[in-house]
Amino acid sequence: MEKTDKQLVCDYLNGDETALNIIIGRRLKLVYNFAYRLTGNAPAAEDISQETFVKVWKNIKRYDPNQEFKTWLLAIAKNTAIDWMRKRKNFVFSDFETNEGKNLITDFLADPAPLPDKIAGQAEDKKFIGGLLDRLSPAEREIISLRYENNLTFKKIGRILGRPLNTIKSRHRRAIALLKKILNEPKNIFLSYK
C-alpha cells in the first residue's frame, strides 16, 4: 500500500532520506502546473517548482501533521510564485496568464489516443478556455485553478490563499458569473486566439 504524504514526512523526519524524494516525485507535476497557471511561463514554473521544494526541505520540520500536506505545499508554491512575480516589476500582474493550461475538456474523453481532428479540436478548446480565463482577475483565476484543476475545497483554498472562506466563495461566484457573461457575449462565436 502506498504511503500518504504525511507518513512520508514522518519517515523523512525519522531519517529516511528517500521519503522526501518520493514526495517530490509525487507532487512535482501539481506544483509545476499550479505555478504555470499563475505565471503563464514554463521556465518560471520550473524555477518556482524547484524553489518551492527547496523551501519544503528547509521548513519540513514546521509542517503541522494536522494540516493536509497538499494544502501546505500549494501555499508555499503560491507564495513563491508571488515572490517571483514581484521581482518582475516591468510586467503587470494580470499579464502573466497565457492561453495555455490544463484542458478541462480532455478529462472527459473516453479514447486515450485521440484522432488528429480531435487533437486539433482540443488545442482550440485549450486556447478558448485560456482566453476565457485571461478575462478574469488574477485572484479569480487563482481560485478557479485551485478549485477545478486541483480539485480543492473552498476551505483548503482559503487556507492556501490566506483568505476567509466567505471571501473565497464570493470570488468564486463572481468568477463563474463573469465566465457565464463572457460566454453569452455574441462576439465569442468568432473569438480570436492569442
Domain match, 137 and 81 both: no
Domain match, 83 and 122 both: no
Domain match, 14 and 86 both: yes
The residue among 30, 59, 92 that closes a domain is 92
Whole-model pTM over 0.85: no
Domain match, 6 and 50 both: yes
The residue among 64, 92, 120 that closes a domain is 92
From CA 121, how far away is CA 118, in angstroms rounded?
Answer: 5
Query: Which DSSP string corresponds to 12-44?
Result: HHTT-HHHHHHHHHHHHHHHHHHHHHHH--HHH
13-54 pLDDT, tens per residue? 888 889 889 988 999 999 998 888 887 788 888 999 999 999
Domain match, 103 and 169 both: yes
Domain that holds residue 31: 1-92
Reference 11, options 65, 76, 79; nearest CA is 65
> What is the total count of domains within the chain?
2
108-159 pLDDT, tens per residue? 333 344 444 454 555 565 666 777 777 888 888 888 888 888 888 999 999 9
Reference 76, options 31, 39, 43, 37; nearest CA is 31
